[in-house]
Amino acid sequence: MLTTTISDFRKDIKRYLDQVTKNLETLIINRGKDTGVVIMSLDEYNSLTATHLELSSKINEQRLDSAIEKLKNGSSFTKDLIEQ
């Protein structure tokens, strides 16, 4: 995670944005005592949104937990894809 001030961000915006996108970094820009802005790559944002969606309902959360347990216990199985 990177942090900077708004002044430093303005001076070197390209370098900061390159670091965020190339290294999947999160950038926090401090704007005062208790305020700030977070910048993240689109890939990170999409991943965060997808995870939030998957965990947004109890049923989805239980399905994921069950699948993880099956993988840990070795009780999972594979299926062949059907070619069409």
| pLDDT value of position 84 | 78
Q: Where are the domains of the chain?
A: 2-40, 44-73
Q: What is the pLDDT of residues 33-83, one digit of tens each?
A: 889 999 999 999 999 999 888 888 889 889 888 988 988 998 877 888 888
Q: Which of 52, 20, 73 is nearest to 4 (CA)?
A: 20
CATH architecture of 2-40: 3-Layer(aba) Sandwich (3.40)
The distance in angstroms from the start CA to the end CA of the chain is: 46
Q: What is the pLDDT of residues 12-28, one digit of tens each?
A: 999 999 999 999 899 99
More confident residue, 76 or 31: 31
Going by the DSSP 8-state scheme, the letter that residue 82 receives in this structure is P
Nearest 5°: CA angle at 35, between 30 and 36? 45
Q: In what order do the strands lie in the sheet with 27-30?
A: 2-5, 27-30, 36-39
